[in-house]
Amino acid sequence: MMVSKEQQLAKDIYSKIGGSNNVSNVYNCMTRVRIDLRDEGIVDIDALKKVAGVMGVVEDGNNLQVVVGPGTANKVALEMADMAGKEKGATVAENLDQDLSGRQQAEQRTAEVKAQQKQKNNTPFKRALKIIASIFVPLIPAFVGAGIIGGIASIIQNLMTAGQLDAEAWTAIFSVLKIIQNGLFAYLNVYVGINAARVFGATEGLGGIIGGVVLLNGMNPDLPLKNIFTGDALAANQGGIIGVIVAVFLLSVVEKNLRKVVPNAVDIIVTPTVTLLVVGLLTIFIIMPVAGVISSSLVGSITWILNVGGAFAGFVLGALFLPMVMFGLHQILTPIHIEMIASSGKTLLLPILAMAGAGQVGAAIALWIRCRKNKQLTNMIKGSLPVGILGIGEPLIYAVSLPLGRPFITACIGGGIGGAVIGA
């Protein structure tokens, strides 16, 4: 049977990282296959970087990020999970082969314990970053699809308002597109709650319910619930996704502790009911008001920095975004973008950070023109440039600009200049 290029790439990656038995989990984001390793000491990073189809490798403790490009990342992660006999994102059980010698089994167990110990030594910042990525990375395709559909709907609406499209003929199309878009954004808290529950080890359905609680559906608008700290009426979505993540973490703690003490005979009834009541009440009356203050302060602080810092703030943000992408730190900005959109209907950060991608594309085009006789380089640029124009920068970073050094620096400077213009 013919082996697909994704299957071959998955096999090649496994061959350089110690096989599937050295992998505890495999998942992906837009451009990277993310691998949780049991023993990173046996990984041949240099050989992995030379594998055909691998654009770059990022090491983060026992987490290995293999850059393979958009579209390919999902397929390769699925192939790797399938080869390990697991679903993508599921923990791969350690395979202590009983036919191995005692020494070999001991070596496998030692590698597992060492990986667990290194996981314990992860810094709180790295753990928080991984949690945020695990919650939001699965939603990226939804953001892309719903966002593009919403953009098309906005264009149609503007053209109808300007009289360039017949409103009677196009209103139904506009409505359908908005309904599809709101399938994500109207219930984003629910999806975040489900993903957060999976990350924290709680029941995913209960996490979705807690995400829905923040929407305050069912509250009588004539007799709204009060904020116990200020006496003002509680507003739907107050605290946003920050509140949802905190609430679902609390949910996981309550649920796990209840399961330890509730008899098995009534666990299926008592545990979810009590968990939802306790966490639901705390979410409505404590977490939502507090998270609302945090969210408002966060958005207000960023807006203030951009207003006061102007061009300088724009330059710093635009110049530093590509290094953030390189180290995977850009994931931490996702909740900030969402909170800014929820509070003001727009994110002031995104246009500035998008300039980093523009700088990268500009550097790639300049290389293409200057080095047009270098067929290998121009072929890599041609393969990476289209997705770079669409805002996915990793292929250009790892395949083109970063290996050459100076083009990466000039791309950062270009992104900074663009950010300064936007921020001015």
Q: For CA atoms 139, 142, 147, 148, give the dihedral sign.
A: positive
- H/E segment holding residue 367: helix 349-370
Residue 60's beta-bridge partner residues? Answer: 63
DSSP string, 154-221: HHHHHHHHTTSS-HHHHHHHHHHHHHHHHHHHTTHHHHHHHHHHHHHTS-HHHHHHHHHHTTTTT--T
Query: What DSSP character marks residue 4?
Result: P
Residue in 216, 210, 211, 246 with CA at minimum distance from that of residue 233: 216
Residue 371 appears among annotated catalytic residues:
no
Residue in 70, 63, 64, 62 with CA at minimum distance from that of residue 13: 64
Q: Rounded to whole angstroms, how far apart are CA atoms 338 and 240?
A: 9
Q: Are the C-beta atoms of 305 and 313 separated by less than 8 Å? A: yes
Residue 11 in tokens: 């096999």
In angstroms, the Cα distances linking 356 to 96, 317, 338, 341 are 47, 9, 20, 21
Q: Rounded to whole angstroms, how far apart are CA atoms 167 and 165?
A: 6
Letter for the amino acid at 185? F
Ordered alpha helix ranges (H), 262-348: 264-282, 288-326, 334-344
Residue in 133, 196, 142, 122 with CA at minimum distance from that of residue 331: 133
Residue 37's beta-bridge partner residues? Answer: 23
| Catalytic residue (choose from 13, 17, 29, 420) | 29
Residue in 194, 199, 40 with CA at minimum distance from that of residue 111: 40
Residue 209's CB is within 10 A of a number of other CB atoms, namely 21
Q: Which residues contact 195 (CB under 8 A, 6 or more apart)?
A: 134, 135, 136, 138, 139, 207
Residue 34's beta-bridge partner residues? Answer: 27, 65
Q: Rounded to whole angstroms, how far apart are CA atoms 31 and 264?
A: 43
Please give the span between the terminal C-alpha atoms of the chain, in angstroms, as a whole number.
59
Give the active site residues.
29
